[in-house]
Amino acid sequence: MDQYLFEGLKVIDAATVIAGPAAAMMMADFGADVIKIEEPRRGDLLRWSSNMPDTDPGAENYMWQMDGRNKRSIGLDLKDERGLKVMHELIAQCDVFITNMPYPSRENFKLSYEDVKPSNPNLIYASLTAYGELGEERGRKGFDQLAYWARSGLMDLMREPGTRPTQGLPGMGDHPTAVSIYAGIVTALLKRERTGEGSFVQTSLLANGLWSNSATAQGVMAGADTRRYRAESERPGFFFRVYQAKDGRWLQFNMVRNEELMNLVFTAMEATDLLVDERFKTPGAMHRHRDEVGARIQEIIATKSSDEWLQIFEEFDVPINRIAIVEETPTDEQILLNRMVSTPVNSDIGVPLVVNHPVRVSGVEHVPMKLAPRLGEHSQEVLEELGYDSNSIDELLSNGVVVEPESVETTSS
């Protein structure tokens, strides 16, 4: 058995920020040879997507190091027929092709599944669109903020009553969607192993946003009264609210779903007066007076620190947690112990910790983290593997059809 699960598997990453490249990175992490196809002047926008101020020196393009790691890069001009020829040759020899290229461009370059399948019937073609493969929006461009977050209804629902829709965070929809793409590819690889047939794998940002929103969307599709649902959401139940402790940190209860658990919570808070108050004799009565109950809970929670409350509620086995802040993640023992982040073995990466994708399988090792490639770093190497001789390579390089790092002005943000 090869050292890494996907060793010997060739993957073409012809996608741009963020979901497609992140799915390709997952393949690379498990040993696949991933060749990143990049626009030859500035490369993938992912190289320029890191925008948090005052990062560590050398770590300015941390997004590229996270999602571009363990790949090879070729800078290729697809608008030149010679560059497009190289692309088709790569596809003909690969196992997996990942793209989120808009359909008008795919059709113009003859890079749709129907176009490339004849040259490689065993190909796993993974297509990511913003809004799906069919319909008027098939060729419409869209990022996760638009398709995953806004179009799926999540942005509308995830907000405090009376406030404007909440903006999503960078990559918030892209990274979960990357896992969907990866799952589709792995499913198709298993199918190919059993049948010898290639597959067209597809998903969209909208489909993944809807899936994230499915607990509510399914209720709508079941005929729920959305006006009543929205009205109820304006005044959530007292265990569907957040409460601020004495140290300023917030606590969130969850699934306090029966009288027994409710009694445990009030006992833990030494608030048994709520249980004997005539206004709150039944769970229904408590819900009708949820604002008063919530105000009383907040009053009690404010008397102790979040650490104290977590210890108290743990003794009563009450489902609660402190709302984390992102500044804590680099030192979060649970995150470190479970290898949700890794320390790169290559110090040139410049990032002391890199976030891992969430897929872990026993006996399936990860490739040691390699520096994300410079734009065009492996152009000559890839062309040689395709059978191009030195004269042909020099001609492509001299005409700017293919680029190497020396011909690129800068590749870091």
pLDDT tops 70 at residue 94: yes
Tokens of 212: 């994230």
Residue whose C-alpha is closest to residue 96's, from 189, 5, 174, 2: 189
> Left (φ > 0), alpha (ψ -120 to 50) or beta: where does 198 sit?
beta
Cβ contact 16:43 at 8 Å: no
Predicted confidence (pLDDT) per residue in 386-398, tens digit: 999 999 999 999 9
Rounded distance between C-alpha atoms, residue 387 and residue 389, angstroms:
6
| SS3 label, residue 372 | coil
Residue whose C-alpha is closest to residue 302's, from 236, 265, 247: 247
Cβ contact 378:72 at 8 Å: yes
pLDDT band at 336 (very low <50, low <70, confident <90, very high): very high
Full set of structural domains in the chain with CATH: 10-213+339-407 (3.40.50.10540), 236-327 (3.30.1540.10)
Predicted confidence (pLDDT) per residue in 153-209, tens digit: 999 999 888 899 988 899 999 999 999 999 999 999 999 999 999 999 999 999 999
pTM to 2 decimal places: 0.92
pLDDT of residue 345: 81
Q: Which residue has the higher pLDDT, 304 or 55?
A: 304
Cβ contact 374:73 at 8 Å: yes
Q: Which residue has the higher pLDDT, 351 or 75?
A: 75
To the nearest whole number, what is the mean pLDDT of the chain?
A: 92
293 Cβ contact list (under 8 Å, min separation 6): 238, 274, 280, 286
pLDDT band at 365 (very low <50, low <70, confident <90, very high): very high
Predicted confidence (pLDDT) per residue in 98-112, tens digit: 999 999 999 999 999
Q: How much of the chain, in percent, has pLDDT values that exceed 70?
A: 98
Cβ contact 313:301 at 8 Å: no
Q: Mean pLDDT, to the nearest integer, of 397-411?
A: 78
Rounded distance between C-alpha atoms, residue 196 and residue 85, angstroms:
27
pLDDT band at 257 (very low <50, low <70, confident <90, very high): confident
Q: How much of the chain, in percent, has pLDDT values that exceed 90?
A: 75
Rounded distance between C-alpha atoms, residue 7 and residue 31, angstroms:
5
Rounded distance between C-alpha atoms, residue 322 and residue 249, angstroms:
7
Predicted confidence (pLDDT) per residue in 10-24, tens digit: 999 999 999 999 999
